[in-house]
Amino acid sequence: MMLPLLLLAALAQQPGSDMPAIVPGALDGRPPASQLSPIQTLIDRARPGETVTVPAGVYEGDLIIDRPIRLAGQGRPLLRGSGTGSVVRVRADDVIIEGFEIDGRGGGDLGRDPAGIHVTGHRVVIRDCRIRNALFGIYLREANGATVERSFVRGVPGKAPGEKGSGIHIWNTDGFTLIENEVVDARDGIYIQSSPNGRTLRNYAHDLRYGLHYMFSDDNLFEDNRFENAAAGTAIMYSKRIVFRRNQFLRNRGFASVGLLFKTCDDVVAEDNLIADNARGIFIEGSYRDVFRRNVIAQSDTAIVLYDMEGGHRFEENSFVANLSPLFLVGKHTDTLFRGNYWSDNTEPDLDGDGYSDRPYRLSNVFDHLRGNLMAADLFAQGFAASAIGMAERTFPVLNPIPVVDERPLARPPALPQVPVAPPEGRRAAPWGLAASAASLLAGLALFRSGRWRKGN
């Protein structure tokens, strides 16, 4: 069985991965009197537009905001919920909440979406809040125009992904903004469903199931975010006209892990992103007219997994560096255009000095053919034999794989000043693995060059 089929099977087994859209639970109203926070009295007395200032301290119980007010913490007061539902329930438009610590106590019925802050009003702003031990961190439900900024969410420790919700969960919300938030140890870092016209800027999601889980949401922009150390990476499905710029998709390792997965996503633009140290860099299925420009795709087992034979995708001016395999193609052909990319294992010269190799770069070799038909071949993917077989087959072709080429490959790595630099923290490849890969690459290059020059003399 070929690897991509197993990959899809694994993705399908992930809770919520390629499943019908998630339907929200019943909506919590006003908490019973026994579970109310003492702050509720201040809210009930406030007039629309007023600021309710909460001094430092610990406040037990849940609260509901049913009028347009500003709730401001002074000295970071702690709101400790009852553990039975959402700690803060926003049921009015034009509410501002800022400066709180919120503890959900890890309780509540997951089917009712208990959150640290649960919002159903429009134009709500959540700023500078720290939420922990809530099954959902921040839940935006039909909360058009909502903004979440400079907030931190840590999920419930010790619970399996299927037993807790997302850090930031957005459902049926038009025009949301997420700025400089951090999510860790939740089910999904950011979950977006049926929510168009959003902006997600400078957020950090790590150590999760999916860093980004996304479906049925058109016309959204993602810039300068980092998604790292997820069990299965990111999954973007059933959407159109999404733009990714200057994001980082890092260290998503595992059997079903992908840096960027697109399923039935059309007219996507991904440019100036860093996609590094993932099991698969980019995965595309059932999509049309996606454009990948000036990205760095590096240190992945497979740089691109491509299911679409006639998707009209374009890869231009990207830099592919130290990937074990550049492409895993499913199908008899593809109309995907590869042109003007840099490939670190391309050894063709640039004799006329125009910056491009004199011959096309072929994205497949005999070892990749073996990997597609013999699962055990993956055990040797990082060894000297794989590099030597690939180099030898390019010199003396013995098989006729599906021809996928970059007609005009760059001879040298391009300057990509907009691509972010990966931070030093986080899991890294073992030094011995990097040394072995470098040695194999150098040995393969030496064999290839010596054979080619002997053939030409």
The Cα 431–Cα 122 span in angstroms is: 51
Provide the pLDDT for residue 440: 38
pLDDT tens per residue, range 204-240: 999 999 999 999 999 999 999 999 999 888 999 999 9
The DSSP symbol for 144 reads: T
Q: What is the mean pLDDT of residues 91-105?
A: 98
Lowest mean pLDDT of 35-39, 134-138, 267-271, 450-454, name the range. Answer: 450-454
Could you tell me the pTM of the whole model? 0.84
Provide the pLDDT for residue 424: 80
Is-contact 265 282, C-beta < 8 A? Answer: no
pLDDT tens per residue, range 16-72: 345 568 899 889 899 999 999 999 999 999 999 999 999 999 999 999 999 999 999
Lowest mean pLDDT of 200-214, 378-392, 420-434, name the range. Answer: 378-392
DSSP 338-369: EES-EETT-----TT-SSB-SSPEES--HHHH
Beta strand residue intervals within 253-404, DSSP E:
260-266, 269-271, 274-276, 280-285, 291-293, 296-298, 302-306, 314-316, 319-321, 325-329, 337-339, 342-343, 361-362
The Cα 381–Cα 29 span in angstroms is: 56
Task: State yes or no: pLDDT of 372 exceeds 80.
Answer: no
Provide the pLDDT for residue 390: 52
pLDDT tens per residue, range 164-210: 999 999 999 999 999 999 999 999 999 999 999 999 999 999 999 99
Classified by CATH at the fold level, domain 22-193 comes out as Pectate Lyase C-like (2.160.20)
Where along the chain do its domains lie? 22-193
